Structure 1
Amino acid sequence: MQVHTRHTPSFGVARVTLSPGEAVQADAEAMLACSFGIKEARQGRVNVRGGGRTTAVFTAPAEGGWIDLAPSHAGDVYPLEFNGRAGWSVARGMVLARPASVRADAQWPALRALFGGDSGFLEHYSGSGSLVLACAGPVDAFTLESGEVITVSPRFLLAYPDAVQCRLRAVDPSGPQSVRTGEGLMLDFAGPGTVLVQARTRSR
């Protein structure tokens, strides 16, 4: 699977090129166009921030093919590359397309420790290949040196790798807080590593 983007960062479109018989899971409603012969199998709806969406598996015919994916909202599309060794924690609801070689780790220990038994605003992925993210704005990268610490609002966070240390804390311990949405919370990150953020939020 190869990913090429265009019209970024304002109105990104991702072209996913598939080898013969290769498949990709994607947001069914984002399918703009595809080469002839691509097969689509609907999988049902999943809940994401701001509502739900229908996922589907798109499979290439014997000669291979491509599919163009355009998110319903303005912003960037960003292929996050997995090397088969390190995983990434990704903001929930940001995944536009995922190959079978990248898996979702529902019980990732670090996130269970971060959020307790609740379903938080992050998901963990690992494997190899390109995980295509649909962002609310341009993507910025903060490259942290060893021991360098920054604070990021959950509303803008996109993803961070396993090597980066993360701490979740309340802005005001007496105020409202939600691990499902990130309301009233902040994230502290310590390097070395790279933290990805989106320069806009969908609420805007």
Structure 2
Amino acid sequence: MQVHTRHTPAFGVARIVLAQGEAVEADPDTMIASSFGVTESRQVRGIRGRSVFTAPANGGWLDLAPSHAGDVYPLEFDGRAGWCVAADRVLARPATVRRDQPWPALQALFGGDSGFLEHYGGSGQLVLACHGPVDALTLEAGEVITVRPAFLLAYPDSAQVRLRALDPSGPQSVRTGEGLALDFAGPATVLVQARRRAQ
């Protein structure tokens, strides 16, 4: 699978190029167009269901665009390290990248709740739909930063992270990130989106 982006960072579109028999999972409402012969099979029935798009014998492509303005960002997985990704940010996922549920580190962060993050591992490119452009914040060893959950896009397993309340007496939600902050310690690279996602 290859990913080519255009119209970034304001109104990103991802062209997913598939070899013979390759498949990618995506929300069917995000598909603009595809080459002839790409087939679609529905994974889950209902409004928020996902589909699997499969290339024919001679390969093919499909163009995907998120429902909101912003960048599309191919996040590269090397088969060794995983990434925690903000929930509902995945535009396209190949079969070689898996969603790990549950993930022990997220269970430790959120307790029994599902939280506002998902964990992915494997190899290949996971295409993310972002609100605004993407910034990669590179932290040196010992450097610590604080990120608001509404702007967080992804961070690697190697990052040290702590979730805390902004105001212990104020409202908080681990499902949306309301009233919370994430502290990251380097060395690590943290991806943020330049516009906040809806709570």
More strand by share: 1
Structure-2 residue corresponding to 1:16: 16
Residue of 72, 88, 109 corresponding to 1:114 = 109
Structure-1 residue corresponding to 2:73: 78
Residue 99 (str. 1) matches residue 91 (str. 2): no
Instruction: Give the 5 Å matches for 1:193-204.
Output: 193-203=188-198
Q: What SS does the corresponding residue of 1:172 show, helix, strand or coil? A: coil
Structure-1 residue corresponding to 2:183: 188
Structure-2 residue corresponding to 1:142: 137
Unpaired runs of at least 5, structure 1: 47-51
Quote the offset at 1:116 in angstroms.
Answer: 0.3
Contact conserved, 1:140 with 1:197, CA < 8 A, in 2? Answer: yes
Aligned length: 199
Change in 2 beyond 3 A, CA 1:128/1:30? same
Aligned-CA RMSD value: 1.2
Contact conserved, 1:108 with 1:124, CA < 8 A, in 2? Answer: yes
Normalising by structure 1, we get a TM-score of 0.95
Quote the offset at 1:141 in angstroms.
Answer: 0.7
Contact conserved, 2:151 with 2:197, CA < 8 A, in 1? Answer: no
Contact conserved, 1:29 with 1:53, CA < 8 A, in 2? Answer: no
Counterpart amino acid of residue 61 in structure 1: P
Counterpart amino acid of residue 120 in structure 1: G
Q: What SS does the corresponding residue of 2:109 show, helix, strand or coil? A: helix
Alpha-carbon distance in 1 for matches of 2:151, 2:43: 29
Instruction: Give the 5 Å matches for 1:114-133.
Output: 114-133=109-128
Residue 38 (str. 1) matches residue 38 (str. 2): yes
Structure-2 residue corresponding to 1:159: 154
Quote the offset at 1:43 in angstroms.
Answer: 1.6
Unpaired runs of at least 5, structure 2: none
Q: What SS does the corresponding residue of 2:107 show, helix, strand or coil? A: helix
Q: What SS does the corresponding residue of 2:56 show, helix, strand or coil? A: coil
Alpha-carbon distance in 1 for matches of 2:21, 2:125: 17
Residue of 156, 161, 168 corresponding to 2:163 = 168
Moved segments of 4+, more than 2 Å: none
Q: What SS does the corresponding residue of 1:53 show, helix, strand or coil? A: coil
Cα shift readout 1:141-173 (whole Å, capped 9, x = no counterpart) = 100011110000000000000000000000000
Alpha-carbon distance in 2 for matches of 1:194, 1:172: 27
Counterpart amino acid of residue 53 in structure 1: R
Alpha-carbon distance in 2 for matches of 1:137, 1:88: 20
Quote the offset at 1:193 in angstroms.
Answer: 1.1
Alpha-carbon distance in 2 for matches of 1:177, 1:111: 17
Alpha-carbon distance in 1 for matches of 2:156, 2:12: 23
Q: What SS does the corresponding residue of 1:120 show, helix, strand or coil? A: coil
Alpha-carbon distance in 2 for matches of 1:149, 1:53: 37
